[in-house]
Amino acid sequence: MKKEEWNKVEEHLKTWTLEAAQLLKDSFENTLTITYKSHIADLVTDMDKSIEKFFINKIQNTFPIHKVLGEEGYGDQVQDKSGIIWIIDPIDGTTNFIHQQSNFAISIGIYENGEGKMGLIYDVGGSNLYFAKKGEGAYLNEKKLPCLQEVTLSEAVIGVNATWAGPNRRVNHENVQNIVRNSRGTRSYGSAAIELAYVASGKLDAYMTMRLSPWDFAAGLILLNEVGGVVTRTDGQPVQLLEQNSILAAKPGLHRELVDHLTE
Ligand code: 2AM
Ligand code: CA
Ligand code: CA
Ligand code: CA
């Protein structure tokens, strides 16, 4: 797609996001309808569904040939990476949205033939817009984000979910405990998109998590790419865009150190 067309996408993407964010803020006044998906900690509200439909409706009317892959399943059955695909998480951090009304985000990554072109993460409660365009850098609101500098584990603050610290079937938890002990500190925010945006903006030095879906990481990958962040699976292998992946996002140098610990 040509540059002018991408400019049009950017303009709409930002306008629609601010409209959707207002709908989310307005919903705090109303009673949410909450249901379970796969288990009791996997929640979905009527707002997750209506915000996804809001974006799909706008995209289909404005860019009819673009495809949409959304968490709540109202988009297209995307089988391959061809063409332009909007990968949408209408609310990332639904538990936070329900319990705290903060630390939840709208996350949208736009890919062309599998290549990340535009990523947006909007921290609705904090009114912070993280935005990146391939080759043009990443921004937090109006401020351009600097390239990430190398850091060692002993100086690093790492985003990690507490379930990792005990026995689990995915990683050797003793390796995770070594990382936790040898780091400066750990944090857990409950929104993968915000945690990836925090790595891109330097608030976290790394973020690692066991299993994310495309809509959780699609935007974050594009942001991190623009600031020199390294993102792989926790074993160091490349992330597959349309699959579930473990995710390890980190500053250069630290990423290598973390993979070494995790694969020990
Ligand atoms: P979600 O809120 O969009 O579902 C913390 O739960 C983080 O992990 C959130 O970013 C959440 O995204 C994501 N996540 C991914 N799969 C999940 C699942 N099955 N249950 C709960 N959270 C999940
Ligand atoms: Ca969910
Ligand atoms: Ca999510
Ligand atoms: Ca979601």
Angstrom distance (rounded) from CA 88 to CA 57: 13
- Alpha-carbon distances, residue 8 vs 62, 111, 129, 130, 252 (angstroms): 10, 15, 18, 18, 33
Residue 133 sits in the same domain as residue 170: no
Of the candidates 249, 1, 235, which has an alpha carbon nearest to the alpha carbon of residue 110?
Answer: 1
User: Which one of 144, 167, 193 terminates a domain?
Assistant: 144
User: Which one of 98, 122, 144 terminates a domain?
Assistant: 144
User: Which one of 100, 125, 144 terminates a domain?
Assistant: 144
CB 192 within 8 A of CB 88: no
**216 pocket-lining for ligand 1 (C-beta < 6 Å):** yes
Ligand 2 centre distance from Cα of residue 256 (Å):
30
The arithmetic mean of pLDDT across residues 7-23, rounded, is 98
Q: What is the dihedral of CA 256, 206, 195, 176, to 10 degrees?
A: 90
Query: Which H or E run includes 24?
Result: helix 3-26
In this structure, the residue with its CA closest to atom 19 of ligand 1 is 42
**103 pocket-lining for ligand 1 (C-beta < 6 Å):** no
Q: Which ligand is located closest to the Cα atom of residue 215?
A: 3
Angstrom distance (rounded) from CA 43 to CA 35: 6
Q: What is the dihedral of CA 82, 20, 45, 100, to 10 degrees?
A: 120
pLDDT grade for 169, boundaries at 50, 70 and 90: confident
In this structure, the residue with its CA closest to atom 2 of ligand 1 is 93
Residue 65 sits in the same domain as residue 86: yes
Which of 122-131, 165-174, 180-189, 247-256 shows the lowest mean pLDDT across its residues? 165-174
**229 pocket-lining for ligand 1 (C-beta < 6 Å):** no
Residue 134 sits in the same domain as residue 44: yes
Tokens of 160: 């990690």
- 206 bridge partner residues: 158, 250
Residue 158 sits in the same domain as residue 206: yes
- The CA angle 219-171-107, to the nearest 5 degrees, is 15
Residue 25 sits in the same domain as residue 101: yes
- Mean per-residue pLDDT of the chain: 96
**48 pocket-lining for ligand 1 (C-beta < 6 Å):** no
Pocket residue to mutate for ligand 1, from 101, 124, 216, most atoms within 8 A of Cβ:
216
Tally of CB atoms within 10 A around 135: 8
CATH number at residue 216: 3.40.190.80
Percent of the chain with pLDDT over 70: 100
Residue 122 sits in the same domain as residue 220: no
The arithmetic mean of pLDDT across residues 190-214, rounded, is 97
Q: What is the DSSP letter of 225?
A: H
CATH number at residue 17: 3.30.540.10
Residue 127 sits in the same domain as residue 174: no
Full domain range(s) for residue 92: 3-144
Residue 165 reports pLDDT greater than 80: no
Number of domains observed in the structure of the chain: 2
**44 pocket-lining for ligand 1 (C-beta < 6 Å):** no
Which of 137-146, 163-172, 180-189, 236-245 shows the lowest mean pLDDT across its residues? 163-172
Atom of ligand 1 at shortest range from CA of 48: 3
Residue 120 sits in the same domain as residue 195: no
Q: What is the pLDDT of residue 124?
A: 98
Residue 162 sits in the same domain as residue 130: no
Residue 54 sits in the same domain as residue 165: no
Ligand 4 ion: nearby residues, β-carbon < 5 Å: 71, 89, 91
In this structure, the residue with its CA closest to atom 22 of ligand 1 is 42
Angstrom distance (rounded) from CA 182 to CA 157: 10
pLDDT grade for 219, boundaries at 50, 70 and 90: very high
Ligand 3 ion: nearby residues, β-carbon < 5 Å: 89, 92, 216
**92 pocket-lining for ligand 1 (C-beta < 6 Å):** yes
Cβ neighbours for 239, distance < 8 A, ≥ 6 positions apart:
217, 221, 231, 232, 233, 245, 247
The arithmetic mean of pLDDT across residues 121-139, rounded, is 98
Residue 130 sits in the same domain as residue 173: no
Per the confidence metrics, is the pTM higher than 0.95? yes
Atom of ligand 1 at shortest range from CA of 193: 10
pLDDT grade for 163, boundaries at 50, 70 and 90: confident
Ligand 1 centre distance from Cα of residue 94 (Å):
7
In this structure, the residue with its CA closest to atom 23 of ligand 1 is 42
